Amino acid sequence: MLDPSAHLDSFARDNLPPGEEWAEMDWSSLPELAEYSKTINCASELLDRHIDEGNGARSVLHFGDLTWSYAELLDRANRIAHVLVDELGIKPGNRVLLRAPNNPMYVAVWFAVMKVGAVAVATMPLLRARELTFMADKARVAVALCDRRLDDELKQTLKDSACLERALYFSPTGEQTEAGSLEELMAEKSGDFANVMTSADDVALIAFTSGTTGQPKGCMHFHRDIMAICDTFSRYVLRPGPDDVFCGTPPVAFTFGLGALVTFPMHAGASTALIETPGPDVLLQCIQQHSATVCFTAPTMFRAMTGLVADHDISSLAKCVSAGETLPLPTFEAWRQATGISTIDGIGSTEMLHIFIAAAGDDIKPGATGKAIPGFEARVTDDDGNPVPAGTVGRLAVRGPTGCRYLDNPERQAAYVQDGWNYTGDAYLCDEDGYFWFQARADDMIISSGYNISGPEVEEAILDHDAVQECAVVASPDPERSFIVKAFVILREGAAAADSTVKVLQDHVKATIAPYKYPRAIEFVAELPRTETGKVQRFKLRQQELEKAGQAS
């Protein structure tokens, strides 16, 4: 039973799946979780609290040579909150689309949305108008706050969307005041704001993720969920302190990045060094410049940084967290040899909000993802949901204080949540010691360099091109990225199976959907493997690619 909502706009709550379709959740497993009140605004807990406790002067955000204190972040978030309410008419429960790379103003607008009791719909900077339009219309978003450097795709979205009506633009640090900008409106507002006292189970964010259907799926998470990831993985596995400085590459628009670079450090009273355009040299320079102690990134980045470590002073670094894809043992060992740090591997999902299996310090078993973290349970089951013996490969199931609640998507809800457990779509085995070992993805999701890429979504983009008759997209093993997107394409009559056509199709995909999703390999074929009913057998293509990789090694 949900507690009474503070939302005047009930759209989010109205579109939650029925309670009986949620995974089972245990709020008594940890003392911190059991003590949550019925009214929680995560902005009050993560931001306002530090000023109330006399720590407003402490640093919270570093961005190049700029540093904001907790008090300065609060002032900006409060002013933006007034703009949302006074100028845009935002009411508790309204959805607000957010669009920016990792910079201080993005964090400020996110907290402003929390403060007014609205629902954040965060979007990746690389997304195109087609993807943004789907998300805006699915979540019934009328207002957007956007980094002005990303205005092109959003302006097109304003034309294409049936729901999105208005956007305000801002600069990375809030210093480039222009007529009609968010900064201009902020300047006239008060730095004080009374946060809306949201219910603990009021929806705080709708996080979109791509799935096997090819369309993004909205995952709804509550204010208490945001606090729960801080009181599970961060408190019991990462264990940061107020003097830590976080850094990393995951976009804050991803729930992985939201926890890694915003909620985890602020829960501990620590600070974060933000970078907008991550690369191995940029991240290493960030660690050196800000004496960062905690780094979150994907295995691909750890591999890329390993050979560059000697050129930078990263002696401050104490803890590293890898997620987004499984951490290969050679990468773990190479990074440990280069830095002396045993990387924390973890598995999480947008549906679960953040990491639920991991291990740190002496509990790390190299090659294994880890154990279910405090507050969560995990097991491996057969296709019928029955637990399998240790050492047996099966489906990974997990439950805890967070769980999957899709926005108006009963079909996917029924697939992800079964018998009270969340099924992640991963094949795992669990050993006698309770450690979980990744085996493979069990669906058509392609995980490449930490990005989740839907094969069917890429197929749809390729099929938009006039030269293509049919195609199938699968994951192909790659030594640098773990996997790449590979497309098997049947061309229409008259189209040339040439390198020039490969480039044309790749450029077409980049212009249609987020560029990181484009197929790095395209193979032209005369036919695709099919069942007797005509369904494409993608598993045969995946197996073919795995066999090729095995022969090559």
pLDDT (tens digit, 9 = 90+) per residue, 116-157? 999 999 999 989 999 999 999 999 999 999 999 999 999 999
CB atoms within 10 A of CB 511: 12
Q: Coil, helix or strand for 526?
A: coil
DSSP code of 150? G
3 state SS of 446: strand
Q: Is residue 28 exposed (0-12), middle (13-18) or buried (19+ Cβ within 10 Å)? A: exposed
Q: Note the Cα 526 to chain centre separation in Å.
A: 37
pLDDT bucket at 447, cuts 50 / 70 / 90: confident
How confident is the model over 448-473, as a mean pLDDT? 87
Q: Which residue has the higher pLDDT, 213 or 231?
A: 231
User: Given the DSSP bridges, would you call strands 468-478 and 451-454 parallel, antiparallel or unpaired?
Assistant: unpaired
Alpha helices in 349-438 (DSSP H): 410-416
What confidence score (pLDDT) does residue 328 get? Answer: 83
> Any idea which of 232-241, 251-260, 308-317, 442-451 has the lowest mean pLDDT?
442-451
pLDDT digits (tens, 9 = 90+) for 159-193: 999 999 999 999 999 987 788 999 999 999 999 99
H runs (alpha helix) in 397-534: 410-416, 455-463, 499-512
Q: Are strands 143-147 and 445-448 parallel, antiparallel or unpaired?
A: unpaired
Which homologous superfamily is 446-552 in? ANL, C-terminal domain (3.30.300.30)
CA 443 to mean position of chain CA atoms: 19
The percentage of residues in the chain with a pLDDT greater than 90, rounded to a whole number, is: 82
Token pair in block for residue 348: 């999480």
Q: Which residue's structure tokens are 């697939």?
A: 415
Predicted TM-score (pTM) of this structure? 0.87
* Nearest by Cα to 325 from 477, 479, 446: 446
Rg (C-alpha) for the chain, rounded Å, is: 23
pLDDT tens, position by position, 44-92: 999 999 999 999 999 999 999 999 999 999 999 999 999 999 999 999 9
Q: Which residue has the tokens 């606090």?
A: 227
The gap from C-alpha 319 to its chain's centroid, in whole angstroms, comes to 20
The CB-side HSE value for 30 (13 A sphere, CA atoms) comes to 20
Rounded Cα distance, 504 and 544, in Å? 25
Residue 443 is predicted with a pLDDT of 65
Q: Is the pLDDT of residue 213 over 60?
A: no
Parallel, antiparallel or unpaired: strands 344-348 and 355-358: antiparallel
Place of tokens 């212009």: 511
Q: Give the list of residues 6+ apart from residue 29 with CB closer than 8 angstroms, or none.
A: 374, 375, 400, 401
CA distances from residue 394 to 232, 305, 365, 382, 423 in whole angstroms, order as listed: 25, 34, 20, 5, 11
- Give the torsion through C-alpha atoms of 410, 26, 255, 409, to 10 deg: 0
User: How far, in Å, CA of 346 to CA of 343, rounded?
Assistant: 10
Angle among Cα 520, 526, 530 to the nearest 5 degrees reads: 90
CA dist 477 and 441 (Å) reads 13
More confident residue, 534 or 501: 501
What is the pLDDT at residue 211? 45
Q: Quick one: which of 484, 482, 485, 505 has its CA closest to 495?
A: 505
Return the closest-CA partner of residue 458 out of 539, 522, 529, 530.
522
Dihedral sign of CA atoms 160, 163, 168, 172 in order? negative
Break the chain into its structural domains and give their ranges: 42-430, 446-552
Phi, psi of 372 (to 5 degrees): -60, 130
Question: What per-residue confidence (pLDDT) applies to 212?
Answer: 40
- pLDDT tens-digit readout, 302-352: 988 999 999 999 999 999 999 877 888 888 999 999 999 999 999 999 999
pLDDT in tens, 5-27: 999 999 999 999 999 999 998 88
Residue 4 has pLDDT above 50, yes or no: yes
Q: Which residues contact 259 (CB under 8 A, 6 or more apart)?
A: 229, 230, 233, 234, 353, 354, 355
Cα–Cα distance, 383 to 418 (Å, whole number): 11
Q: What pLDDT, on the 0 to 100 scale, is given for residue 550?
A: 78
- Longest Cα–Cα distance of the chain, Å, equals 72
Residue tagged 């959003």 (tokens): 154
Q: In 130-211, where do the E strands start and end?
A: 143-147, 166-170, 203-210
Burial bucket for residue 51 (CB in 10 Å: 0-12, 13-18, 19+): middle
Q: Helix %, strand %, coil % for the chain, to 5?
A: 35, 25, 40
The burial of 365, by beta-carbon neighbours within 10 Å (0-12 exposed, 13-18 middle, 19 or more buried), is given as middle
Residue 444's nearest CA partner among 209, 131, 211, 208 is 211
Closest Cα partner for 297 from 316, 312, 275, 313? 275
CATH topology of domain 42-430: Rossmann fold (3.40.50)
Percent of the chain with pLDDT over 70: 97
Query: Which three-class secondary structure state does DSSP give residue 510?
Result: helix
